[in-house]
Amino acid sequence: MGRSAVVLLASRKANVVIADVNDKLGAECAEELREQGAQVTFIRCDIAVESEVKGLVNKTLDQFGELHGAFNNAAIPQAGLPLADVSADQFRRTMDINVTGTFFCMKYEIQAMLEGGVKSGSIVNTASAAGVVGVPMHGEYVASKHAVVGLTRVAAADYGKRGIRVNALIPGAVRTPMLQGAMDNDPGLEPYLNSIHPIGRFGEPDELGEAAVWLLSDAASFVTGACMAVDGGFTAI
């Protein structure tokens, strides 16, 4: 989903910074887009580490001068266990990345937008359908994504009058490497997931990328505090 958003933004002439813990894939994506004439750079960042997030935003400002939009899209797979079987370490690690990492990103992105005098900043956070409903065997993941929804709404309320919009995507099952890994370990997972989406299929990364880019754009100028379901109807039933 992150890669899709990067490609779409670059194709629409945005200056883009890719941030990831995967040096190889991040650098390859940036190089591929630069060869096509895009203004794209890669900066390694672990969003669970506050100093790295602060450095990421500062390096972005050093390179491009201002920050107008950010897509906070990082997570780790759930343990797939009943809640009482989730270890404290598993719970903390999920919270570190999905919640604390999102907080760090918003904290420094918002500061950069305010200090830079940006008139129409936009932040999009990736939550999940698991952020608005309960999903069995996903306890720590559900808790973390509900927290992302809450952070999104609070930030929208705090900064709307200062020109910063903050929204969240609510994806259903999307064919990403993370989900594919889970399906490889459980042959029954794919047909089950298809069956619980009224649209009858998974989402594709580009469908989520398009939604993120729209929320980042001025076309969504009256949209803030929204949790936009892009979930094939999963949360409708």
Q: What are the structure tokens assigned to 92, written together?
A: 């903390």
Block residue for tokens 């900043």: 121
Residues 6+ apart with CB under 8 A from 23: 42, 44
Nearest to 211 by CA among 106, 141, 135, 127: 127
Q: Catalytic residue among 108, 141, 159, 192, which?
A: 141
Alpha carbon distance 85, 134 (integer Å) = 17
User: Does the active-site annotation cover 141?
Assistant: yes
- SS3 for the chain, per residue? CHHHHHHHHHHCCCCEEEEECCHHHHHHHHHHHHHCCCCEEEEECCCCCHHHHHHHHHHHHHHHCCCCEEEECCCCCCCCCCHHHCCHHHHHHHHHHHHHHHHHHHHHHHHHHHHCCCCCEEEEEECCHHHCCCCCCCHHHHHHHHHHHHHHHHHHHHHHHHCEEEEEEEECCECCHHHHHHHHHCCCHHHHHHHCCCCCCCECHHHHHHHHHHHHCHHHCCCCCCEEEECCCHHHC
Catalytic positions = 141
